[in-house]
A and B are shown apart, each in its own frame.
Chain A
Amino acid sequence: MSEPLIEVKDLRVEFDVRAGIVKAVDGLSMTVNRGKTLGVIGESGCGKSITARAILNMIPKPGKITHGEIIYHRRLKSDDGLTQMDDIIDLAKTDPDGKLIRQIRGGEIGMIFQEPMSSLTPVFTAGTHINEAVSLHHLIPIRKVGDQIAEKVMAHRKVTKEEARVIAIEMLHRVGIPKPDQRVDSYPHQLSGGQRQRVMIAIALSCEPSMLIADEPTTALDVSIEAQILDIMRDLQQSVNMAIMFITHNLGVISSMAEEIVVMYMGKAVEQGKVIEIFQNPKHPYTQALLRSIPKLGKKAAGERLATISGMVPDPFNLPTGCVFHPRCPLFMPGKCDKVVPKWTKVGDEHWANCLLYEEA
């Protein structure tokens, strides 16, 4: 049964810039379940990355969380690993530079980024990066089967240099880097893009987080490497029972990775549901348009053009009234969509949409 890990409730993130206030995230609600993958899709600038950063309370200035809660169901294991301690934290209210959020960042919620080329500090070797993550959280991440006693002794103790090196090599091995004992001493510029992304994943996973936020992790990689990276993420997810929030605008990738999908548009969730539901039976006109705009191999009739979503993303300072999607919507209902703000409506089994088409009049 699904058990919530992160619950985002009516989240609003605003950027107070000189030209006005930009609502980057505007009333977003969603739930990430323990051990499951949630896909977040949407156009560039729809607030996907800001949501991810809000979860780690790392909103760049001058943005801030103005409303809403991010409930994190924290589960701490006691030293002997037998009893659990549950705790509920509102991440939106933590001090962004405080000790608590820094423990959660990296230690309990890991994050990997879009650009593996620039996400590693150029002066540190791959091993140093992983060791940093490990030593920041004072954890021994390798769980050797039948080695419980040793683990108990090692927990909550500073890792020595030799141990840290062994951990780093082990992590590199797990993410499928060849010759990990040599690569551990490589600098980022000596690694290829795919290898760097693997190192990023190794860093994020080295503390066995309960959730991984993957912000377009394969956008900068070529297709074959992309497939390998996705395989690694799936394998590791199963081995450590980790939730993944997978942010992308690549619908093909999301269909193979996620169990549940949230579609975002202009800082709002417009549709949420199981992968199969969303792909086979999309309800919101925006989701329908997104799916139509995927190029299909071999199905093209002569002279047929690729379907696009008409119009442009609206000016963030001048949002349309009513439903924000109405100026571009093919099913626009005059007098209704431009006046009434749609509500979150259940449209099927575990399937919701934010559209007036499905609201009862």
Chain B
Amino acid sequence: MAKAEKNETAATAKQTQISQSYWSLVWWKFKRNRVAVIGGIILLVFYFSFVFIPEILSPYALENSSDYTEAGPTRIHFIDQDGKFHLRPFIYGVEKKIDFTTRKRIFIEDTTKVYPIQFMVHGDAYKLLGLIPMDIHLYGVDQKTNPDARVLILGADALGRDWFTRIMYGGRLSLMIGLIGQFLTLFFGTTMGVVSGYYGGWVDMVIQRTTEFLGAFPDIPLFMALAAAIPSFWSPLAVYFMLTLILSFVRWGGLARQVRGMILSLREREYVLAAKSAGANDNRLMFRHLLPGTMSHVVVIATLSIPGMILAETALSWLGLGLRPPLTSWGVLLQDAATVRAIHNTPWELWTVPFIIVTILAYNMLGDGLRDALDPYGSR
């Protein structure tokens, strides 16, 4: 009896396996690629923490400046002067002095003042997702009882703002510009590619020559010209959206060519003729029958080119052509850290770089994994 039951479950298990959909097969293949999964998890964590909850993770509000100008990273202690271990980490208060030989501010720990670090502490008020008013921060020193103390785990900038907070908020814009820009690029690229490949003839000619024209321009001067065209009186946010538009406008060509190539081969398939003989019009053929056939390829291209988008934003902002203060993005933060003086005096401002590198690496890991998983003709 038990055996028969077991057989039955085995049979149903087999049945469900047979009728697995394409996407569940892709997911199964993707899951086995550990590197890609790690990349995906890193990106999920980054996007969630930088886009949705940087207010909670960072101990201060973005514009909360203090007189801790260019203070180095705060040391976090577990063992006090008497050698006693505390489970709750604490920081010492600091005394600000000026070193007259180097003409530089130095901060000396004052071991008499002990400030315990608290978790889920009340601090600067903010609105989560722009809606929910809150004042909880993941960690920090209670500002009501100890207004002088500051915990700056990655140091502070010239205005005494917490650098870790700035990286968190900067990530929001840098990561979003990658996504929004890539979305626009996808939209332009696939539409132009499908139209170009489907109609052929002079339409194809015009679109392809346009992509070549855009591709023949050196990137940076083109960005400079377009960025210079943005009026200086625009609000930083308008500049931000203009910049995503510019980035995607310059970058749709490559995708359009790849989609066109795929459409050129797909449009000769019999199912296109069959759909046409069922009365489908051009739009339907292009966007319902042909476009989905290129999607697995497009998804991979998109994933692999988002890092390019993020890097472009970073590079442009670093050159001063992209986002400008008071907006905070990773490019803007890098601009702060770009002088020899900054590298010498405030090397902690380079902490932005590892965040950028990890993001780009994670995207590439994920993209490679997706390419392997989505390829139905792959040997493995």
Contacts and interface: CB of A to CB of B under 8 A. Distances in A.
Interface residues of B, number: 22
Interface in B221-278: 269-271, 273-278
B130 interface: no
Contacts of B270: 113-115, 118-119
B77 interface: no
Contact of B279 (A103, A112, A113, A119): A103
A97 B281 CA distance: 7
A56 B277 contact: yes
A102 B22 contact: no
B277 A58 contact: yes
Contacts of A132: 275, 278, 280, 288
A357 B294 CA distance: 57
Contacts of A204: 278
Given A122-B293, A123-B293, A187-B22, A113 B278 contact: no
B274 A107 contact: no
A106 interface: yes
Nearest to A189: B22
Interface in A81-138: 97, 102-107, 110-115, 118-123, 132-133, 136-137
B273 A58 contact: yes
B19 interface: yes
Contacts of A56: 277
Interface string A198-222: 0010011000000000000000000
A119 to B, nearest CB: 4
Contacts of B280: 102, 106, 132, 136
A58 B276 contact: yes
Interface in B4-44: 19, 21-22
B282 A97 contact: yes
B271 A105 contact: no
A58 B282 CA distance: 13
Contact of A133 (B19, B278, B288, B295): B278
A300 B64 CA distance: 101
Interface string A268-299: 00000000000000000000000000000000
Contacts of B275: 121, 132
Given A187-B22, A190-B19, A119 B278 contact: no
Contact of A203 (B269, B278, B281, B288): B278
Contacts of B276: 58, 105
Given A123-B292, A132-B280, A113 B273 contact: yes
B105 interface: no
Interface in A182-203: 187, 190, 200, 203
Contacts of A113: 270, 273-274, 277
B289 interface: yes
A112 B295 CA distance: 27
Contacts of B22: 187
A121 B279 contact: no
Nearest to B285: A121
Contacts of A190: 19
Nearest to B201: A61
Contacts of A203: 274, 278
A145 to B, nearest CB: 27
Nearest to B289: A121
B271 A121 contact: yes
8 contacts: A56-B277, A105-B278, A106-B279, A111-B278, A119-B270, A122-B271, A203-B274, A203-B278
Closest 7 A/B residue pairs (Cβ): A106-B279, A106-B278, A111-B277, A123-B292, A105-B279, A119-B274, A118-B270
Given A97-B281, A110-B278, 9 more contacts: A106-B277, A113-B277, A119-B274, A120-B274, A132-B288, A136-B284, A200-B274, A203-B274, A204-B278
